[in-house]
């Protein structure tokens, strides 16, 4: 058995960290660039979000500003679209793209989009898995008994659920971005050049979810390799 403090499988975390860092730098760079370019239409993210929801016949969803940068999200339980202050009142290419993307989630919810519903169902167990899996695995590795082996197995199964959640998230995010671009184009809110900027911003944001899924898979592989060497 390899020492608990280090295992060759730990080296898998190096590419995981590189992927995650690359994705974060890419999205920050794209956002910084296109948040500084105002659209010709001059409408704000909140206004575009409201209009797109009207066109999609999505009712009962409030639009609220929220503090911070890149804190935008759709809350399906409260039926609230929360846009960061720079997106809510901003008229930049990034602001309109992000607002439209979050509306895409509201439309998914209204249309009972299957991957989104599945993600909601998976969230409770995946949340538990992401919180408890690693502690269970490492506690199990410390103690050499049949019970500790059970802890390791439980931890790996819980983490597998968390990994599955990151994979199911991918089609949800890509679909929301596709809906956003189509809605902005159909509503003539942006020029062709501005839409190209939106695609770059949303594409960079999507890569953060791809990176999260890749990192989770590498972590799962690491845990499996460590558990196998223990046996």
Annotation says 194 is catalytic: no
Give Cα 227 distance to the centre of its chain.
29
Q: Residue written as tokens 């409408």?
A: 43
Separation between Cα atoms, residue 218 and residue 13, nearest integer Å:
7
Alpha helices in the chain (DSSP H): 13-34, 45-55, 85-88, 93-110, 114-142, 146-186, 192-230
Catalytic residue among 64, 85, 102, 185: 102
Pairing relationship of beta strands 80-84 and 62-66 according to DSSP bridges = parallel
Yes or no: say if 116 and 172 are a contact pair by the CB < 8 Å rule.
yes
Closest CA to 44 of 103, 73, 87, 94: 87
User: How close are the terminal C-alpha atoms of the chain, in Å?
Assistant: 8
Helix (H) / strand (E) containing 62: strand 62-66
Yes or no: say if 122 and 69 are a contact pair by the CB < 8 Å rule.
no
Separation in Å, CA 125 to CA 119, 129, 132, 204: 11, 6, 10, 28
Tokens of residue 31, six digits:
């956002």
Residues serving a catalytic function are 102
């Amino acid at each position: 058995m390899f020492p608990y403090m280090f295992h060759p499988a730990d080296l898998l975390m190096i590419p995981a960290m590189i992927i995650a860092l690359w994705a974060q730098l890419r999205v920050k760079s794209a956002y910084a660039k296109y948040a500084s370019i105002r659209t010709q239409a001059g409408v704000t993210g909140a206004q575009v979000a409201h209009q797109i929801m009207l066109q999609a016949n999505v009712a009962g969803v409030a639009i609220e500003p929220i503090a911070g940068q890149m804190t935008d999200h759709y809350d399906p339980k409260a039926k609230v679209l929360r846009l960061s202050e720079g997106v809510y009142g901003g008229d930049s290419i990034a602001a309109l793209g992000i607002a439209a993307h979050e509306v895409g989630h509201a439309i998914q919810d209204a249309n009972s989009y299957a991957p989104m519903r599945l993600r909601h169902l998976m969230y409770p167990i995946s949340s538990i898995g992401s919180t408890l899996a690693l502690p269970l695995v490492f506690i199990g590795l410390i103690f050499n008994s049949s019970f500790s082996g059970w802890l390791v197995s439980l931890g790996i199964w819980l983490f597998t659920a968390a990994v599955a959640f990151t994979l199911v998230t991918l089609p949800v995010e890509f679909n929301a971005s596709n809906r956003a671009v189509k809605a902005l184009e159909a509503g003539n809110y942006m020029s062709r050049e501005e839409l190209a900027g939106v695609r770059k911003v949303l594409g960079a944001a999507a890569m953060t979810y791809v990176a999260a899924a890749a990192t989770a898979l590498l972590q799962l592989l690491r845990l499996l390799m460590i558990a196998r060497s223990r046996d």
